[in-house]
Structure 1
């Protein structure tokens, strides 16, 4: 199956740039209700994923008050883990396996540019559609 059917395109995904501040990241995550957000460089390449936990631990460990967050780049924040990204040609079975370990799967084009994400919800819908098709075929054969 072509994973483009499950892709939420970049235009519909909230992301932040690697030179954004902690405050910008927090505000965007709050607006979109994301617990993790893709990080891109200014060329549109996927750099990693920033989570609420990454920000929380950094703020706690450095005893930063909120006003100072608008002066600190997210590039200074260590990330606990990065979401594994996949190329557009990746098969759905591999994406399903990756999604068991992360909230979303960043998708890259042939040149490594970020083109969107596949969420767990997208995968659940794909699996439900696949089950419904199988059920329908079985009923038709009976």
Structure 2
């Protein structure tokens, strides 16, 4: 079984010129956790995930080392958190997106797709054909198709 047989063809994506606001809106509207970032030719130039968002808005801490113990000194409050979140929404998506994106070809075999998803510990793989985004495959897609004839 090949990628084009199991991929989702309707891919939610963002353009490299979009702000992070577009990403967060798509995450919320479609209940998804990651998006390919494409240029005007629909070529994949990045990938942005909920983890990228969490790293930006997460609470930062400074660790103070003492001779007898470690204590974490937390900085910030609700207003500071909201200010970071507002600042994030205005950033260009490529400022937080991963630029080295793992993809598969549209004719990649399901066994190889499963191996990549497992080894790289990623949730989704964009699918390309002739350098252009044509679909996306999740871990769930692989599991559903791998076991549908057996169960």
TM-score, structure 2 as length reference: 0.72
Q: Aligned in 2, Cα 1:103/1:45: closer, same or farther, shift over 3 Å?
A: same
2: CA distance, partners of 1:48 / 1:71:
18
Whether contact under 8 Å (1:39, 1:49) holds in the other structure is yes
Unaligned runs of 5+ in 2: 61-79
Aligned to 1:139: none
Unaligned runs of 5+ in 1: 133-142
TM-score, structure 1 as length reference: 0.76
Q: Which has the higher contact order (CA 8 A, sep 6+)?
A: 2
Q: 4+ residue stretches of structure 1 with deviation over 6 A?
A: none
Whether contact under 8 Å (2:7, 2:135) holds in the other structure is yes
Moved more, 53-62 or 36-45: 53-62
Give the strand-richer structure, 1 or 2: 2
2: CA distance, partners of 1:121 / 1:28:
20
1:29-40 alignment runs, 5 A limit: 29-40=27-38
Q: How many equivalent residue pairs? A: 128
Whether contact under 8 Å (1:83, 1:104) holds in the other structure is no
Whether contact under 8 Å (2:34, 2:47) holds in the other structure is yes
1:1-142 alignment runs, 5 A limit: 1-9=1-9, 12-60=10-58, 64-77=83-96, 79=98, 83-100=101-118, 101-109=121-129, 111-132=130-151
Greater radius of gyration (CA): 2
